[in-house]
Amino acid sequence: DAGVIQSPRHEVTEMGQEVTLRCKPISGHDYLFWYRQTMMRGLELLIYFNNNVPIDDSGMPEDRFSAKMPNASFSTLKIQPSEPRDSAVYFCASSFGPSRPQHFGDGTRLSIL
């Protein structure tokens, strides 16, 4: 069975550019989570969706960050404009219900120059 699929795996771009990260959750999962991982702050939850509806976006650092889930099989995390401090590994995870384990994708390593 396919796991959570994220793209791209690596992204290098210049400061000020728009960045779009993509995620395809596991089919049938109704919860989708976006995390950011850095050495300094560890794993941070940015936002999560239930049945395509954003439930908690309190972890989104600034208005430069936005996330959408137009349907059950696709979500995007967008940063506009990007800044060097946004450099991190971004993970998407999904679960079947809030009490089942979260399955993580392999992440997108983002570098903003």
Using DSSP's 3-state secondary structure scheme, residue 101 falls into coil
Interface residues with other proteins (CB under 8 A) are 4, 31, 33, 42-43, 45, 48, 50, 55-56, 91, 93, 95, 98-99, 101-107
Least distance to other proteins from the beta carbon of 15, Å?
25
How close are the terminal C-alpha atoms of the chain, in Å?
A: 36
Least distance to other proteins from the beta carbon of 39, Å?
9
Pairing relationship of beta strands 53-56 and 42-50 according to DSSP bridges: antiparallel
Residues contacting residue 84 through CB under 8 Å, at least 6 positions apart: 15, 112, 113
Least distance to other proteins from the beta carbon of 105, Å?
5
Nearer to other proteins, 47 or 112 (CB): 47
